[in-house]
Amino acid sequence: MGLQTRLQPEIADSLNAMPIDPQDVKKRLLALLFPESPFVDKFRVFMLEFFRRTTLLDQAIQSLVARASQQVHAALTAHLMSITLPPDKRLQLGKDLPDSFPPNLKTLTNPDLRALLAKVGPTPDSLHETGAVNWANLPERMHFIADLFRCYQEYETLLRTSVFTTEQVTAIKAGKVPGGRL
C-alpha cells in the first residue's frame, strides 16, 4: 500500500487530462450572461475577487468543476485503463473482476490478513464492486489491486509464462524501454 500512497499525486495528476480553471469558467460564463456588462458589474466582480469573497456563483462553479473532473477520471478509467494477463485476458480496471477467488483463497482464516483486507475492501470475500470507477481514488484502487492479487494468485498462465521476451529483458537491464508488446 505504501507504493500506491506514494504514487497517489502522480496517478491523480495523470488523470487530469484537461484541467479546468474555475476562474476561466467564471469569466466565460459572465461574458455569456452579460455580454455588454457595464463597468459597475465588472468593478463589483473585481472587488469581490480582490477581497477574496466567495459568491454563490463561485461555489456553484467550484462544484461544477469538481464534478466535471470526477466524470473525466471515471471516463478515462472506464475506457482507457486495463491490464492484460497472458495470453489475452484483458481486465478493465473500472469493472468488477470477472473470475473468482481460487478455492484455497475463497475463505480466509488468517486474522491479520482479514484485518488488512477489511481496510481496503468494502466487500470481503466477494468480487462485487471491485472495479475502481475512478483510478485516482486511492481506496477504490487499493480494493481493486487487493482483490486482483487474491483472484489471480494461482492463475496458471501467470505461473508458467514469461512476461517479457529475452530481448525485452536485455533492454530493461540496459536501462532502455523495451520494444514490442508490453
Q: What is the pLDDT of residues 129-165, one digit of tens each?
A: 999 888 888 899 999 999 999 999 988 888 777 778 8
Mean pLDDT over each residue of the chain, to the nearest integer: 83
Q: Per the domain annotation, does 87 fall within a domain?
A: yes
Q: Per the domain annotation, does 179 fall within a domain?
A: no
Compute CA 45 distance to the chain's CA centroid, rounded to the nearest angstrom.
36
Residues 6+ apart with CB under 8 A from 55: 48
Higher pLDDT: 178 or 1? It is: 178
Report the number of distinct structural domains present in the chain.
1
Q: Per the domain annotation, does 81 fall within a domain?
A: yes
Output the CA–CA distances (angstroms, integers) from residue 171 to 86, 161, 164, 175, in the order listed: 20, 19, 10, 6
Enter the C-alpha cell of residue 68.
466535471
Name which of 28-32, 131-135, 177-181 the model is least confident about.
28-32
Name which of 4-13, 75-84, 90-99, 151-160 the model is least confident about.
4-13
Predicted local distance difference test score (pLDDT) of residue 125: 87
Q: Per the domain annotation, does 84 fall within a domain?
A: yes
Predicted local distance difference test score (pLDDT) of residue 38: 64
Q: Which of 124, 96, 119, 136 is nearest to 14 (CA)?
A: 136
Q: Per the domain annotation, does 182 fall within a domain?
A: no
Q: State which residues form the domain around 91.
A: 2-173
Work out the percent of the chain whose per-residue pLDDT is above 90: 27
